[in-house]
Structure 1
Amino acid sequence: MISLQHVSKTFNVGKKKVEALKDVSLTIQKGEIVGVIGYSGAGKSTLIRCVNLLERPTSGKVLINDVDITSINKKELQKVRQKIGMIFQGYNLLKTATVYENIAIPLRLEGVPKEEIITRVEKYLNIVGLSEKHHVYPGQLSGGQKQRVAIARALAHEPEILLSDEATSALDPNTTESILDLLLQVNKELGITIFLITHELDVIQRICDRVAVMQNGEIVEEGKVLDIFSNPKHLRTKQFVYGEAGIKVPNHFVDKLPKSGKIVSLTFIGESSKDPFLALLAKQFDVLPSILAGGIDQLKDQSVGKLIVHIDGEASEVEKSINFLNEKNILVEEVNQ
């Protein structure tokens, strides 16, 4: 569906050259929801704008349905773009046009017949839950409602791909949740492939199938959300997963623990999070496990539990208990506080 192959982008800023993207490769399959996460300046926005050539790569290829759109003419590119919808953080609605006109005007410019425009506007306003807002102006809408109008406008072109550029970052948590539910609905019911960028870990957890982590214009880690979230490898990924999950134990608390034993991070996936493994440790081995911090995070189709545990006891018994946890497919990592 989407294939970015060795994409680089360099901007000339005064006399300096800024490398926004450095040899980035990423493939998104039909029907997937794939997210790119990174801090400000990581290159996320430049990357997503390369998908529909709002930013043309300095080098590399962008393939949409196996067609390299960096090598086609403007007329052919316009046809490709008609199948790529895009929603933005700032909504980009016309303030002096009604909700209906905000959706209809781009369709008129595209040459869609009048009756078809009416049908599509009604259909997609209904899908986003704003069927009663036809004649309302953007200034009369909440932020969440404005974003729903923007989504309806993108869907009215009946795209195969939907690009989301930080679409929820300006919204409150409850509104964000409703927009994410809407994107899941669009993906499931309409079969639209969604490619999004965000700096919010919750967005990735909530709806994405796969995630790529960006830093300084490069993808430093990429894979299934469950794999990345349960066992991050790169330091930047760990900063997102562990830093935002808030499971670090304060040093003053650690100082009060017994010097024997080990502090370990335990990661439980799915049904394993429901089993009483810590109780079994105390029963089967001469150890005393104490929970220091943790919680359970719900991903799109799975849950991941994380605990920081101090396992107190003789070294041999602690090692036996850790081996027991590993045998139960619980990821165990020693924590250096």
Structure 2
Amino acid sequence: MIELVGISKTFAGKKGSIHALKDVSISVKKGEIYGVIGYSGAGKSTLIRCVNLLERPDIGAVNVKDVDLTKLSSGKLREARKSIGMIFQGFNLLKTATVYDNIALPLKLSGLSKQVVEERVEKYLRIVGLEQKQFAYPSELSGGQKQRVAIARALAHEPEVLLSDEATSALDPDTTEAILDLLLKINKELGITILLITHEMNVIQRICDRVAVMENGEVIEEGKTVDLFTSPTHPTTKKFVNSLFTHNLSDELLDGFNETGQVFTLSFFGQLSGEPTLALVSKKFNVFPNILSGSITRLKNESFGQLMVHFKGDAGEIDKALRFLGEQQVHVEGVNGSESKNRRVS
């Protein structure tokens, strides 16, 4: 549905050129929710604005529905953009227009009939749950309601692709959850492909099928969300994943545990998150596992958990236990001086 091939973009700055994107390529499949995550300055905002050519890349192809937008005339580009909706962090609503008019005005400017405009406004207000707010003004709405209006406006052109530019960053946690649920509903019921950018790992965790991690204008890691959670390879990806799991154990405390055994981080997902795997370890081997910290979180379609565990026992028995965990598709990694063990059986 969306394919960016070798995209590069450079801006002129006071201190020299800024390379916002460096030979970036991603592919978003029809009907999926694809996330791009990175810290400030990673290049993700420039990337998403290249999809509808709000920013035109210096080089590279922008293919949407197998059409390279960079090669279209201005008239054909305007037509192609009708299949690409976009929502922003700042809502971008007209303050002096009602909710109804904020959604209806772009449709009127597109030349649609009054009847079609009315039908679409009513339809998409119903989808976002704001039927009773059509005559309200933005100043009378909460942040979450404003974002729902912006989503309805983006959907009113009935696009096949929806771009989300940090759409939840200005919202409180409860409202963010509600907006994410709405995006899931839109994706499932309307079949719209969603490409979103964010710096919040909980957004990726909740709704994304696949994810790309960006840093310094480059994609440093990409894959299925569950794979990046269970086996991140780049330090930045690991930092994002670990941000969801706060172990709060000092190096001094970990060093003390390492003197009497070995400390490992265990990552597991799916049905395994509810299995008594550690209990089996203590029964099968002469090893005594002690859970130091951990938690289980929910990905889009399955659960994911992470435990920090102190294993006390003979080194040979611990090694056998770790091999067993690997056979159970548990990803094992040494912590703070422990011998690094990275085993996962798919």
Q: Equivalences for 1:133-152 in 2 at 5 Å?
A: 133-152=133-152
Q: Output the amino acid matched with 2:91.
A: Y
Is residue 249 from structure 1 mapped to residue 241 from structure 2 by the alignment?
no
CA distance in 1, matches of 2:73, 2:166: 29
Structure 1, 313-322 or 223-232: larger mean CA deviation = 313-322
User: 2:126 corresponds to which residue?
Assistant: 126
- CA distance, structure 2, for counterparts of residue 248 and residue 30 of structure 1: 41
Q: CA deviation at 1:15?
A: 5.8
Asked if the contact 1:260–1:314 (Cα under 8 Å) also holds between the matched residues in 2, the reply is: no
Secondary structure of 1:257's counterpart equals: helix
Matched, 1:316 2:333: no
Shift in Å at residue 253 of structure 1?
2.2
- CA deviations 1:43-77 (Å, max 9, x no partner) are 01000000000000011110011111101100000
- Residue deviations 1:171-230, cap 9 Å, x none? 001100000000000000000000000000000000000000000000000000000011
Amino acid at match of 2:108: R
Q: Does 1:96 align with 2:119?
A: no
TM-score (norm 1): 0.98
SS class of match (1:309)? strand
Aligned to 1:194: 194
* Cα distance in 2 for residues equivalent to 1:149 and 1:64: 25
Taking only the aligned residue pairs, the percentage that are identical comes to: 60
Give the 5 Å matches for 1:222-301: 222-247=222-247, 249-257=249-257, 259-301=259-301
- The question of 1:61 aligning with 2:61 is answered yes
Gaps of 5+ in 2: 338-346
Preserved CA contact (<8 Å) 2:273 2:305 = yes
Q: Helix, strand or coil: the match of 1:54? A: coil
Aligned equivalents of 1:258 and 1:251: distance in 2?
Answer: 10
What is the distance in 2 between the residues matched to 1:237 and 1:15? 29
Q: TM-score, normalised by structure 2?
A: 0.95
Measured in 2, the distance between the counterparts of 1:78 and 1:304 equals 42
Tell whether 2:331 aligns with 1:331. Answer: yes
Describe the superposition over 1:70-110 as per-residue Cα deviations: whole angstroms up to 9, x where unpaired: 01100000011011000000000000000000001100111
In structure 2, what residue type is equivalent to 1:21?
L
1:294-323 deviations in Å (ceiling 9; x for gaps): 111100001111111110111111111111
Q: Tell me the distance in 2 between the aligned counterparts of 1:241 and 1:20.
A: 24
Find the aligned partners of 1:133 and 1:81 in 2 and give their Cα distance: 28
Residue identity in the other structure for 1:88? F
Alpha carbons 2:245, 2:306 under 8 Å: kept: no
Unmatched segments (≥5 aa) in structure 1: none
The answer as to 2:207 corresponding to 1:207 is yes
The CA distance in 1 between the partners of 2:270 and 2:231, in whole Å, is: 14
Equivalents in 2 of 1:145, 1:103: separation in Å?
A: 13
Aligned to 1:115: 115
Contact 1:258 1:312 in 2 (8 A): no
CA offsets per residue over residues 242-301 of structure 1, 9 Å max, x none?
A: 134223532232243261321111111111111112112222211111111111110000
CA distance in 1 between partners of 2:158 and 2:195 (Å):
16
Matches within 5 A, 1:78-97: 78-97=78-97
- State the partner residue of 1:6: 6
